[in-house]
Amino acid sequence: MEASGSAFPSDNDDEDDEDDDTMDWEDVALPSYMTGAGSSGHDEAGDVTMAEPEAIENEPATYKDVEVVVEGARRPMNKMSKMEMAVQRQLREWMHNSHVVLLISHFMVRNNWCAREDVQAVCLSVIPDHIQRQCKNKDASRDDFTMGIKWLLTWWHGYFTITGPGLVTRSHDEYDLREWDQHLHDNLLQRLGLQDTEIVADSLAFVNCLAEKKGTRDLSAQLFTALLRTLGFDTRLVCSLQPVPYRIPARRKESAPSKKENEEEEKDTPSEMAFPLRTSRATARLAYNRGDGDGDQVWKHKKAKVPTVWCEVWNPHVQRWQCVDPVRQLYNEPLLMEPGVSDRRNLLSMVLALECPERPQGKKRQRPRLCRAIDVTRRYTTKWQRALSLRERDLTKREREIGWQRWSDVLLNILAGSARGSARHDADVLRRLEREQEELASLEKHDALPSSLQGFRHHPVYALERHLKKHEVIHPPDTRVIGHIKGEKIYPRANVRTLHTRETWIKQGRVVRDGQDPVKKVAARAVTIEKKRILEEAKMQGNPIEAELFGEWQTGPYIAPPVVDGIVPKNAFGRVDLFTPEMLPKGAAHLEIQGIGRLARQLGIDFAECVVDFEFMRGRSLPVMNGIVVAEENKAMLLEAWREQEHHRFEKEQSKQQREAYKRWRKLLMGCMIDAHVERDYGRKKDDDNENAIQHGNATAWDRYLREEHGKKNDNDDDYAGGGFIRENDEDSHSAAGGGFLQDDEEEDDDDDILQRSKKRKGKGRAIVSDDDDDDSDSDLYDAQADDDDPDSDDEAVAGGFLFDDD
DNA sequence: GTGCAGTAATCGCCTTTGTGAAAC
DNA sequence: GGTTTCACTTTGGCGATTACTGCA
């Protein structure tokens, strides 16, 4: 064979040559970029270099009738893989969830401040007398109650100046994480204009804002909550959380800027993006920048954008919580607290009402208990489903199947339940809570018929045919039509049924009954390479394959053929499908033990591997196995054999370990003996000033080792009783009572001797014993002398292990 | 301000039965 | 030499959904 610069070739190895002689090779001419001929083939140093990718792409190589075209990169460089996207998505979710927790903590701290006695004392000093007098009559009648709140709202409107919006929603893009790394301590928030609310260090600074009479909308609502509590109103601080979204908005292609984009560009500083208002932005900005007193009127106007913090007061006359917006002077107008759809700085997803924290009775200085936070979102939104979707992504099908709960649901349950469990609420408060929950639940159920087509999408009660998914159908066909909208029929959502292919039904343990016609046919889909080829071929022949879909009413439970004479019925692949436990053949047993199939084969027992699922890898579908299926009558025998085999294996393993241990000990001892021999025969010939030689005399290395170890022990503890090797020549100097090897020249280590010796030292020693009954400490030091009268304590002190001997 | 249609982007679901090398 | 175990690798297309824009 000749290879003219071929990359597949032939080293001049003799063996290779022999093999090559039997093969029919063909000479081919390689293009210049592969042979290295031409200018780019070798660099000046003579190293082989790669040709430019463009050259490869532009120069198709032709080998007789075969054309090879090297394609460029299939995926654009900036496009993320699915896995990268999943990682990014996970990161965003963690950021979102963390932000939610931090915001709740923030509002809980503020809520606690609103309940402090020192804060309320300052509040009382600023509230005019006539309002205080009016509020004292709040329990007299419904009108007095309402009037007290309205007077307070009016006074507050003139008293407090709004300087900013408070916390708002910001997108991921606005937080440049690279900058965070570099300037974390550089008050970056303020510099980037992301400081939406004032920094209040403690309750003193908080109440100082009341004296300064100005602050953000958030602060206004928080201080107003403190005022209401001061006047004896049962008040909750309500906050609509504005965390960073877990979803990234769709990135638009670069095109001519729209009108709105142009408007955005007009903004001078990032901070102004945080103040969206329906009233002219320019007016608000000018007023705010000037710092004149009228600027805040823009925030307080009834048509101003909705704030994210407000209050709720319990009205005993109507037995309901009523909302109070101190910023816009609104009372009991819950639906006006919902932000407009165009307001992207205020997304209503989770509204929490923080109750007044209880202070433990008789302990004024003690911290208040954790306050209860109730999810009251449904009271303030007409778009409940949208609020839920903004909270958190839906669980995937798999997550639902394995019983996961939404993170936000778990969190809200904890927030609502923790205080319920810990605080001492009277029956009245609990009843009030239950009633509120019922009221909120009914708000969801009694949704009015939507007025737009879009409103029917995902509606829990109603459905339109146009919104049915690919695998959905209205069943039965003669379902009663509830009404019409713009000429389209409205059906009950309960009659929307999901369809599946035969294979999908089998995975759910159901099988399509004989003679059933498919309800719907859709284009078949393929994922595996093999299936794709089949589909493509069918398409080219003009007969595209369609997938047949069936409804649950057309299926019945899957019943596998039974076991006969110990033989397990198998599918075409020699296995048993066991996607659900009900699919187990009658008379069979499922053994979920890995490797038991081998034993069954050895014993001549018929069995089949179990397929419980499929997974996808490299464009192929692979079955997921879990154990085997055998005939029920063989189960006991097989399990017994398995136990025996395991026992045998365990013993074998143990003896192997033991052999290994002996081997290592032998090696160590042999080494020591050789060392000792060398030392004895040649060591003494060394220099006389070698201290070791003089000191140890004829002692072997093993002896020296033991002495050194012994010496170390003496340095650490005068008496060692924990175990190991101890050589004892002097009774008074050492004692070993805890275990291990005791070598005593004069006496055997019987218990009486040990007790006697320990009693000699009793006056001096102490032992560490543990006392599990004592909650305050895990272990206590007992003075042995103090327990002189208790004979049991003597034993315990000895057996405890540590004896300190002053000798 | 609201709803609708169109567009673009994200994201979840569907699919459905291996292979070769190393270890035992 | 036969059998078992382990590692390999993280598709990709389509439909549903959502955000956004312009228009009525």
Please provide the DSSP assignment of A248-291 as one string: PPPPPPS-S--HHHHHHHH--SGGGGG---SS-HHHHHHHHHHT
* Higher pLDDT among residues A305 and A62, named by residue: A305
Handedness of CA A54, A58, A63, A69 (dihedral sign): positive
Least confident of A13-27, A210-224, A308-322, A324-338: A13-27
Is there a contact between A278 and A303 (Cβ–Cβ < 8 Å)?
A: yes
List residues bridging with A311 in a β-sheet.
A237, A324
Q: Which tokens sit at A166? A: 């408070």
Distance, angstroms, CA A469 to C1' B8? Answer: 21
More confident residue, A795 or A345: A345
3-class secondary-structure state, position A777: coil
How confident is residue A221, by pLDDT bands cut at 50, 70 and 90?
A: very high
Report residue A175's pLDDT band, with 50, 70 and 90 as the boundaries: low
Reading the block at residue A136, the tokens are: 């004292």
d(CA A582, CA A509): 7
- A41: Cβ under 7 Å from strand B? no
Q: Is the pLDDT of residue A673 over 80?
A: yes
User: Measured from the CB, is A249 under 7 Å from any atom of strand C?
Assistant: yes
Q: Which of A474, A444, A478, A473 is nearest to A461 (CA)?
A: A444
Strand C–CB A523 distance below 7 A:
yes
CA–C1' gap, A711 and C18, in angstroms: 77
A571 touches strand B (CB under 7 A): yes
User: Quick one: pLDDT at residue A599?
Assistant: 85
Query: What is the per-residue pLDDT for A160?
Result: 94
pLDDT band at A524 (very low <50, low <70, confident <90, very high): confident
The whole-number Å distance from A299's CA to C21's C1' is 28
pLDDT, average across residues A567-595: 87
| Band of residue A212 on the pLDDT scale cut at 50, 70, 90 | very high
For chain A, give the percent of residues with pLDDT over 70. 62
End-to-end CA gap in chain A: 93
What pLDDT sits at residue A265? Answer: 41
Angle between helices A791-799 and A751-761 (to 10 degrees): 100
Confidence of residue A390 (pLDDT cuts 50, 70, 90): confident
Q: Tell me the nt nearest to A611, Cα to C1'.
A: B17
Q: Residue A455's pLDDT is what?
A: 74
d(CA A141, CA A696): 103
pLDDT confidence band for A54 (50 / 70 / 90): very low
Q: What is the mean pLDDT of residues A763-777?
A: 36
- Point out the least confidently predicted range of A42-56, A575-589, A653-667: A42-56
Which nucleotide's C1' is closest to A575 (Cα)?
B17
Higher-scoring residue by pLDDT: A593, A111: A111
CB of A521 within 7 Å of some strand C atom: no
Which helix (H) or strand (E) covers residue A712, if one does? helix A701-716
Amino acid letter at A269?
T
What is the 3-class SS of A95-131, one letter each residue? HHHHHHHHHHHHHHHHHHHHCCHHHHHHHHHHCCHHH
CA–CA separation, A245 vs A175, rounded Å? 12
Q: Which nucleotide is nearest to A451 (CA to C1')?
A: B3
Q: Alpha-carbon distance A778 to A574, whole Å?
A: 60
Calculate mean pLDDT across residues A19-36: 45
CA of A598, C1' of C3: distance in angstroms: 9
Q: Would you state the pLDDT for residue A588?
A: 93
- The answer to whether A794 and A787 are in contact (CB under 8 A) is yes
Q: Which pLDDT score, from 0 to 100, does residue A570 have?
A: 87
- pLDDT at residue A445, as a whole number: 64
The CB-based long-range contact list for A8-15 (8 Å cut-off, 24+ gap) reads none
User: SS3 for A215?
Assistant: strand
Q: For A453 and B5, how far is CA from C1' in angstroms?
A: 12
Could you tell me which residue, A54 or A585, shows the higher pLDDT?
A585
Q: Amino acid identity, residue A339? A: P
Name the least confident of A314-318, A713-717, A733-737: A733-737
Residue type, A140: A
With beta carbons less than 8 A apart as the criterion, state whether A526 and A534 touch.
yes
Q: Which of A87-96, A371-380, A500-509 has the highest mean pLDDT?
A: A371-380
Q: Which candidate, A109, A338, A355, A171, places its Cα nearest to that of A240?
A: A338
For strand A462-464 and strand A320-325, is the pairing parallel, antiparallel, or unpaired?
A: unpaired
**Which residues are paired to A374 by β-bridges?**
A353
pLDDT of residue A443: 76
Mean pLDDT confidence for A17-25 = 42
Q: Is A293 helix (H, G, I), strand (E, B) or coil?
A: helix
Question: What is the 3-class SS of A528-567, one letter each residue?
Answer: CHHHHHHHHHHHHCCCCCEEEEECHHHEEECCCCCCECCE
Listed in sequence order, the residues at least 6 apart from A10 whose beta carbon sits closer than 8 Å to its beta carbon are A1, A3, A16, A17, A20
Nucleotides of B under 7 A from a protein CB: 1-5, 8-18
Q: Which residue is nearest to nucleotide C16 (CA to C1')?
A: A469
* Residue type (1 letter), A729: N
Structure tokens at A224: 């107003």
Tell me which residues from 531 to 570 on chain A have a beta carbon below 7 angstroms from nucleic acid strand B. Answer: 531, 547
Q: Are A608 and A584 in contact (CB under 8 A)?
A: no
Checking if the pLDDT of A387 tops 80, the result is: yes
More confident residue, A54 or A494: A494
Q: Can you read off the two tokens belonging to residue A296?
A: 């805040």
Question: Where do runs of H (alpha helix) occur along A482-631?
Answer: 502-507, 529-540, 596-603
Nearest residue for C11, CA–C1': A619
H-run or E-run covering A386: helix A384-391
Nucleic chain B: which protein residues 213-232 of A have CB below 7 A from it? Answer: none
Q: Is A578 helix (H, G, I), strand (E, B) or coil?
A: coil
Pairing of strands A488-492, A483-485: antiparallel
pLDDT value of residue A733? 39
Dihedral angle sign, alpha carbons of residues A48, A53, A59, A60: positive
A223: pLDDT strictly greater than 90? yes
Q: What average pLDDT is seen over chain A?
A: 71
User: What Cα–Cα distance (Å) separates residue A482 from each residue in A370, A491, A511?
Assistant: 48, 6, 33
DSSP letters along A33-48, please? HHHT-STTTB-TT--B
- pTM exceeds 0.75 for this model: no
Q: How would you class A260 by CB atoms within 10 Å of its CB: exposed for 0-12, middle for 13-18, buried for 19 or more?
A: exposed
Give me the A residues in range 499-528 that sit within 7 A (CB) of strand B.
501, 503-504, 507, 525-528
Nearest Cα residue to A469 out of A511, A520, A429, A397: A520
| Residue of A491, A501, A487, A494 whose CA lies nearest to A467 | A491
| pLDDT level of residue A207 (50, 70, 90 thresholds) | very high
Q: How far is the CA of A621 from the C1' of B18 (A)?
A: 9
Query: pLDDT (tens digit, 9 = 90+) per residue, A461-479?
Result: 788 888 888 888 888 888 8
- The answer to whether A161 touches A170, Cβ cutoff 8 Å, is no
State the DSSP H helix or E strand holding residue A611, giving kind and residue range, or none if neither.
strand A607-617
- Greatest alpha-carbon span in chain A: 116
A439-465 b/e (C-beta count within 10 Å ≥ 16 → b): eeeeeeeeeeebeeeebbeebeebbbe
pLDDT for A393 beyond 50: yes
Model confidence pLDDT, tens digit, residues A354-379: 998 876 665 555 565 668 899 999 89
Q: What is the pLDDT of residue A448?
A: 63
Summarised one tens digit per residue, pLDDT across range A687-720 is 555 555 445 555 666 666 777 777 766 665 544 4
User: Given this model, what pLDDT does residue A5 score?
Assistant: 35
Q: A269: Cβ under 7 Å from strand C?
A: no
Work out if A397's Cβ lies within 7 angstroms of strand B: yes
- How confident is residue A145, by pLDDT bands cut at 50, 70 and 90? very high
d(CA A134, CA A137): 6
A680 pLDDT higher than 70: yes
A440 band by pLDDT with thresholds 50, 70 and 90: confident
pLDDT in tens, A317-327: 999 999 999 99
* pLDDT at residue A255, as a whole number: 43
Which of the listed ranges A160-174, A191-205, A568-582, A616-630 does the model predict with the highest average pLDDT?
A568-582
DSSP A410-438: HHHHHHHHHHHHHS---HHHHHHHHHHHH
The number of residues in chain A equals 807
Select from A215, A217, A210, A227 the least CA-distant residue to A153: A227
Q: How far is the CA of A620 from the C1' of B15 (A)?
A: 9
Residue A401 (CA) to nucleotide B13 (C1'), in angstroms, measures: 14
Distances from the Cα of A395 to the Cαs of A81, A293, A388, A776, A804, in angstroms?
22, 49, 12, 45, 63
- The amino acid sitting at A742 is L
Separation between the CA of A115 and the C1’ of B22 (whole angstroms): 70
Phi, psi of A80 (to 5 degrees): -85, 150
The phi and psi torsions of A643 (rounded to 5 degrees) equal -60, -45
Name residue A625's beta-bridge partners. Answer: A611
Asked if A602 CB < 7 A from strand C, the reply is: no
